Amino acid sequence: MRAEPVKRGAEAGETTVLLASPRSWCAGVERAIETVERALDQAGGDPVYVRKEIVHNRTVVAELAAKGAVFVDELDAVPDGEDVTVVFSAHGVSPAVRAEADRRGLRVIDATCPLVRKVHTEAHRFAEQGKTIVLIGHEGHEEAEGTMGVAPDSTVLVETAEDVADLALPADAEVAVLTQTTLAVDETTSVVDALRQRFPRLALPPSDDICYATTNRQRSAAAVVADADILLVIGSANSSNSRRLVELSHRQGVAAYLIDDAGDIDPSWLDGIGTVGVTAGASTPPALVTEVVDALRQRGPMQVYERETVTENMRFTLPRPSTIRGERS
């Protein structure tokens, strides 16, 4: 990797690739993947069940499945027994799922990201205070479902500032706001502003729910998009934070494409393009970025420059088995 050029590649007859940094795996994703790998090592050939995709990435799921992980949608696809291991995904689960696993005596390894657990703890606290929780998130996303499940009778979901106007709550309602960890920072701010206008006594969590990895990847993508003609975002279609990177680029007026891997690149996207921005969502393996850069290199002369906006050094400790018994969420 080289220092950034004074003269851009297109002017010199080369393609310039600007790599956003940070990109790819975050601490929560690395922890979740390592959790499954260790469980497989310790299982001695027995199946390790994983509820939902451990992280939202097609390649990660395929590689772990090839090593013996059995991905299931719900616990009813897991056999009973204390020697049956089930891993909960990084996106978290509702207390009802925990209770079901507990009731059936399953050996649980909970790979819920600690930053998602933090939001669950906030939901529990606000519900105990009698507040209505407005969760900003995406309907049907596993993280939103898990967080809603902490206090289902006290939580409503909104996606946009427009949704706030439709909430059937009086202006003096005791309302608290929480957010999915992988949302667009600027869009979420506008929803919170709309909530503040409707509910002047709106309670907020002590710190942002949108996690450091989401924020950092949006900032690094924005820095690259500022000088790129297109942005390639490597990530799967169900990866929330990857999709937010595509949207961010569109909002800055730069075409962006979500690709699972190098094979998804349509050569026509690159016709007449001088500078290609490349980034990857928090669930995307770094190796896929290397493959994409190698594929771009096949097209002709190219220089690659990395644009780092912040250095990440977050690490989370691994979860231990069956840590959920008797635990409150």
Q: Please identify every residue annotated as catalytic.
A: 143
- Classify 50 as helix, strand or coil: strand
Q: Which one of residues 18, 20, 29, 231 is an interface residue with ligand SF4 (CB under 6 A)?
A: 29
d(CA 249, CA 227): 11
Candidate ranges 14-22, 65-73, 96-104, 113-121; the one touching ligand SF4 (CB under 6 A): 113-121
Q: Given the structure tokens 């006594």, which residue do they identify?
A: 201
Shorter beta-carbon distance to ligand SF4: residue 48 or 90: 90
Q: Which one of residues 39, 97, 115, 280 is an interface residue with ligand SF4 (CB under 6 A)?
A: 115
Contacts of 189 (CB under 8 A, 6+ apart): none
Shorter beta-carbon distance to ligand SF4: residue 25 or 199: 25
Of 141, 115, 121, 142, nearest in space to 133 by CA = 121
Candidate ranges 21-29, 97-105, 228-236, 287-295; the one touching ligand SF4 (CB under 6 A): 21-29
Handedness of CA 184, 189, 190, 191 (dihedral sign): positive
Q: Which one of residues 35, 132, 181, 275 is an interface residue with ligand SF4 (CB under 6 A)?
A: 181
Q: How far is the CB of 281 from ligand SF4 (least distance, A)?
A: 8
Q: How far is the CB of 214 from ligand SF4 (least distance, A)?
A: 5
Give the pair of three-digit tokens for residue 34: 């390592």
Q: Does 211 bind ligand SF4 (CB under 6 A)?
A: yes
The mark string for 40-79 relative to ligand SF4 (x by CB under 6 A, - otherwise) is ----------------------------------------
Q: Residue 315 to residues 44, 115, 209, 271: CA-CA distances in angstroms?
A: 27, 12, 18, 40
189 Rama class: left (phi>0) / alpha (psi -120 to 50) / beta:
alpha
Q: Which residue is nearest to ligand SF4 (CB)?
A: 28
Q: Which one of residues 17, 18, 26, 228 is an interface residue with ligand SF4 (CB under 6 A)?
A: 26
Q: What share of the chain is helix, strand, coil (3-state, %, to 5)?
A: 40, 20, 40
Residue ranges that bind ligand SF4, judged by CB under 6 A: 26-29, 90, 113, 115-116, 181-182, 211, 213-214, 241, 282
